[in-house]
Amino acid sequence: MNEKPDKLIDKKGIRGDGRKADELRPLKLQVGVLSNADGSAYIEHGKNKILAAAFGPREMHPKHLAQPDKMVLRCRYHMAPFSVQERKSPAPSRREVELSKVIKESLEPALFLELYPRTGVDVFVEVLQADGGTRCASITAAALAIADAGVPMKDLVVACAAGKVDDTVVLDLYDAEDKLGSADVPVAYMPNLNAVTLLQMDGILTPDEFEKAVNMAMDGCKKIYAMQKEALKTKYMVVKEVEE
Amino acid sequence: MPAFFEKKQLVTPGELLAEGDYLPGENTYVENGKIYASRIGLVDADNKKVNVVALRAFYVPKTGDIVIGTVVEVGFNGWTVNIEAPYTALLRASDVLSRPFKPQNDELSAVLNAGDLIVAKIASYDRAHDPQLTVGEPGLGKITRGQILRVTPTKIPRIIGRKGSMISMIKQETNCQIILGLNGVILVTGKTPEEEEIAIMAIRKIEEESHTSGLTDRITQLLKEKKPAKLEENKIE
């Protein structure tokens, strides 16, 4: 890795990649990119490139994992060996297993699990290129994939992180800030229900800074939500235009 | 009691649709007295009932529905059938054989084998049990000829049309027999492959433009256009 720079934020308050403290990275979202999956989405969040595919609801395999009273959501977060500078072993690492669980738990509140008992929904998240904040981008893409699969949802789930770099609270950390900064707060959020489904913190923040970071992340989520909604509509808009 | 949508507006899951004096319809849910959409689709208010016509959904079995399924497994006393729903369906041997079923005498795979397509009716289904199929009615049973196509299950009502107007028109114009499985699988059986092609083309067009107005007229036109060309071909022969 590169040497640690003296400052991640310059005197004018501009960050390493030219952003202001409360600015998001450029975002690109696309829905329905895979034809073999029931639903799919692709996200480019800064330098992150992530594919998400959703299947189901379908019969659970192996069968003993099926729940008699509810649907089961399974998630697999996986990083491609070429997604980072140094080759990552394709076997699931401790971190990937953890993130799979975190993504699953942040999406579950958005689903009507009781509606289709004994079935399962599978979500596969494949990180093609990583640059910090992949869990958040993954959640955003996975929610789109599930909606595209036609699974009823209470709300879309959006995620965004905030953190502390050089004693400043900033939005949407990229890799260097994530590694060299002093704190990272990923937040997943259901904008219409105004409910937080994931809140983590890595590092040290004062209560005031924490509150500021959470609010900043939630504002970021709202901005991403607008794009997420647009992306979902774009896929079906083509059909709608025929009407006019 | 405000409503937050326009007619035929495209909505995404979680979008607030109405508050107060409205009833939640299809693909919506209520939370704290507010009605939200639960699928991507087009909003439609029917009196005070707010519906979302889903653009993407899967088939949920309902007792009495006619479906088209694929046999995936031959079991000891019946078959497992994939009906393109979250659950696989069961077809019992005693239902297919008109006489009492004896495992030692009857070879089930000789009646229906894995890969066979069947038209069946859902005999029973509830949350706790997988759907049971029956073929004990006229028109049901193994499919021996024709072509299969798949559409999103939500588009089936549009293909049927108002009081079956759309489907009966296609049947009439193309001389094809068409069986619509409510699970989104359609069987088209015609006298010639060309006739089947035209019927399939019409159904594909309905699927693509399902929520546009004046569709019946365009389909009529499409069928009329294709028909003379086909007849001339036959004359040359």
- Give the residue numbers spanning the domain of B99: 66-142
What percent of chain B stands above pLDDT 90? 51
In this structure, the answer to whether residues B168 and B203 fall within a common structural domain is yes
Q: How far is A57 from chain B (nearest CA, A)?
A: 5
**Together in a domain, B155 and B230:** yes
Contact in structure between B66 and B38 (CB atoms under 8 Å): no
Amino acid found at B135: V
Q: Of A39, A193, A233, which has the smallest distance from its Cβ to B14's Cβ? A: A193
Q: Is residue B20 part of a domain?
A: yes
Q: Is A193 on the interface with B (CB under 8 A)?
A: yes
The alpha carbon of residue B137 is apart from the nearest alpha carbon of chain A, in Å, by 28
pLDDT in tens, A210-231: 999 999 999 999 999 999 999 9
- Give the confidence band of A236 by pLDDT, cuts at 50, 70, 90: confident
In this structure, the answer to whether residues B50 and B73 fall within a common structural domain is no
The whole-angstrom distance between B39's CA and the closest CA on chain A is 5
In-domain check, residue B1: no
Position B5 in a domain: no
Instruction: Write down the ipTM of this complex.
Output: 0.90
The reply to whether B83 and B157 lie within a common domain is: no
Please tell me the distance in Å from B82's CA to the nearest CA on chain A.
Answer: 11
* Lookup: tokens for B20: 């107060």
CA-nearest residue of chain A to B11? Answer: A233
- B168-221 confidence digits (pLDDT tens): 999 988 889 999 999 999 999 999 988 899 999 999 988 888 777 778 888 888
Confidence (pTM): 0.90
Contact status of A177 with chain B (Cβ, < 8 Å): no
Q: Are residues B83 and B30 in the same domain?
A: no
pLDDT category of residue A244 using cuts at 50, 70 and 90: very low
Of B13, B31, B86, the CB nearest to A156: B13
Residue B176's CATH number: 3.30.1370.10
Residue B2 maps to a domain: no
Whether the CB-CB separation of A189 and A77 falls below 8 Å is answered with no
Beta carbons of A154 and B29 less than 8 Å apart? yes
Question: Which residue(s) pair with A53 in the sheet?
Answer: A40, A124
Do A103 and A77 meet the contact criterion of CB atoms below 8 Å apart? yes
- A74 burial (CB, 10 Å; 0-12 / 13-18 / 19+) is middle
The matching CATH number, chosen from 3.30.230.70, 1.10.10.10, 3.40.228.10, 3.40.640.10, for A27-241 is 3.30.230.70
pLDDT band at B47 (very low <50, low <70, confident <90, very high): confident
Where along chain A do its domains lie?
A: 27-241
B128 and B173, same domain (yes or no): no
Higher pLDDT, B210 or A134: A134
Contact A154 B14 (CB under 8 A): yes
Give me the residues of A, 93-152, that contact B with CB < 8 A.
110, 112, 116-119, 147-152
Asked if B90 and B153 sit in the same domain, the reply is no
Q: How many folded domains does chain B comprise? A: 3
- Rounded Cα distance, B184 and A124, in Å: 26
- Cβ atoms of residues B201 and B222 within 8 Å: yes
Instruction: Provide long-range contacts, Cβ within 8 A and 24+ apart, for A33-38.
Output: A37/A124, A37/A145, A37/A149, A38/A148, A38/A149, A38/A150, A38/B58
- Does residue B60 lie in a domain region? no
Same domain, B158 and B206: yes
Residues B86 and B33 occupy one common structural domain: no
Distance CA(A133)–CA(A30), nearest Å, equals: 18
